[in-house]
Amino acid sequence: MSDADAPASASAGMNADVADVLAWTAAHGLPGLVDIHVHFMPDAVMDAVWRYFDNGPQHYGVHWPVHYRVPSDERVALLARMGVRAYPALLYPHKPGMAAGLNTWAQAFATVTPACVPTGTFFPEPDARRYVRDALDAGTRVFKAHLQVGGYDPRDALLDDVWGMLADASVPVVVHCGSGPLAGAFTGPDPFGAVLARHPALTAVIAHAGAPEYLDHLDLADRYPNVHLDTTMVATAYLDQLAPVPAEAVRRMGAMPDRIVLGTDFPNIPYAYAEQLVALEGFGHGASWLRAVCWDNGRRLLGVADV
C-alpha cells in the first residue's frame, strides 16, 4: 500500500503520531530517541507475524491491532520523521534452518538503512556457532533471542558457545524470556538466569522488562553487571491489561537509570508510539532518567555514539 493508496484518515493519524513524538522529545530536551526494540523482517516473515496478531483474541484474550501496518519503506520513513535516530531490525526464527538466512537479510537491510544497526539472531542447531561468528565478523551489533516463539531452552549445549562469543564480544542480545504475553516451556527467569550464571559478563537486554516477572528479572540485573531491561510496552494501558507493573518494580527501575533502555516493539504495537513515552514519563523519575533511558543507554548498547 503506497501513501497515495492509503486513506486520508490513516495518513492524518500517522502525521499526528509524528507530531506527538516530536512534541514529547522537545518538551524533555532530547535530541531524538534510540529504540532498542524495533522489528524489521523479510516481508513474508512480517506478514506471518501480522497474521498471528490478527488472531489476538485467540492467543491473548484481547484484540491486537498492529498500529503501524504499512510497507517497510514507509516504516523507515516514519521512524526518521519521529526522530528515532538508531534502532535494530530485530528478527527471530521459530524453527531450525532459518537464522542464517535472516542474518543475511538483516545485514543487507542495515546496509541500505542508515539508522538501522546490523542485527542477528540464532537457534539451537549445529551450525549456530558458525553463522553467529560470521555475523559478528560482519559487524553485527545486536542479536535477538525469542524463547517463547522459538520454543527452545537457552541452556541447550548447542548455544553455549554462542552465548560465550556474545559475552566476549560485548555485543548485546535482546532476550524475550519473560512469560508475557504468553508463557512458553522455557520462559520465566530461571532458564535464562542459568545462562547468565554460566556467562556472567553477557550483555543482555531483557525484553518487556521481563513481564510479568518484572521483579525476578530486576533481580538478574542486580546480580549481573551487564543485564539491562527494555521498556517495550511496559506500563502502557494495553500491557497493563495483561501484566501490570508493580509499584516496587517502578521504584527499582528508577534506581538503575543506566540499566533501563527504551524499547517499543514498533511496528507491532496496538497503539501510537508516543504512548510508550508518556507511560515512562508517568513513572515520575525525572528528566535525567528519561534522557538515560531514551537516549544515552541505547546509544551505548548499539554502539552509535555518533548519532
* pLDDT-derived band at 271, boundaries 50, 70, 90: very high
Instruction: Tell me the pLDDT tens digit for each residue of 66-91.
Output: 999 999 999 999 999 999 999 999 99
Query: Which pLDDT belongs to residue 5?
Result: 43
CATH architecture assigned to 32-302: Alpha-Beta Barrel (3.20)
pLDDT at position 4 over 50: no
* pLDDT-derived band at 16, boundaries 50, 70, 90: very high
Domain edges within the chain: 32-302
Instruction: Tell me the pLDDT tens digit for each residue of 122-135.
Output: 999 999 999 999 99
Q: What is the 3-state secondary structure (H, E, C) of the chain?
A: CCCCCCCHHHHHHHHHHHHHHHHHHHHCCCCCEECCCEECCCHHHHHHHHHHHHCHHHHHCCCCCCCCCCCHHHHHHHHHHCCEEEECCECCCCCCCCHHHHHHHHHHHHHCCCCECCEEECCCCCCHHHHHHHHHHCCCCEEEEEHHHHCCCCCCHHHHHHHHHHHHHCCCEEEECCCCCCCCCCCCHHHHHHHHHHCCCCCEEEHHHHCCCHHHHHHHHHHCCCEEEECCCCCCHHHHHHCCCCHHHHHHHHCCCCCEECCCCECCCCCCCHHHHHHHHCCCCCHHHHHHHHHHHHHHHHCCCCC
Instruction: Tell me the pLDDT tens digit for each residue of 37-46.
Output: 999 999 999 9
Query: Which pLDDT belongs to residue 9?
Result: 53
Query: Which pLDDT belongs to residue 218?
Result: 98
Query: Which pLDDT belongs to residue 6?
Result: 44
Question: What share of the chain in percent tops pLDDT 90?
Answer: 93
* pLDDT-derived band at 169, boundaries 50, 70, 90: very high
Looking at every residue in the chain, the average pLDDT score rounds to 95
User: What's the whole-model pTM score?
Assistant: 0.95
pLDDT at position 166 over 60: yes
pLDDT at position 116 over 60: yes
pLDDT at position 8 over 70: no
pLDDT at position 200 over 90: yes
pLDDT at position 261 over 50: yes
Instruction: Tell me the pLDDT tens digit for each residue of 274-305.
Output: 999 999 999 999 999 999 999 999 999 999 99
Query: Which pLDDT belongs to residue 10?
Result: 62
* pLDDT-derived band at 111, boundaries 50, 70, 90: very high
Query: Which pLDDT belongs to residue 12?
Result: 73
pLDDT at position 7 over 60: no
pLDDT at position 144 over 60: yes
What is the pLDDT averaged over residues 156-178?
98
Query: Which pLDDT belongs to residue 95?
Result: 96
Query: Which pLDDT belongs to residue 245?
Result: 98
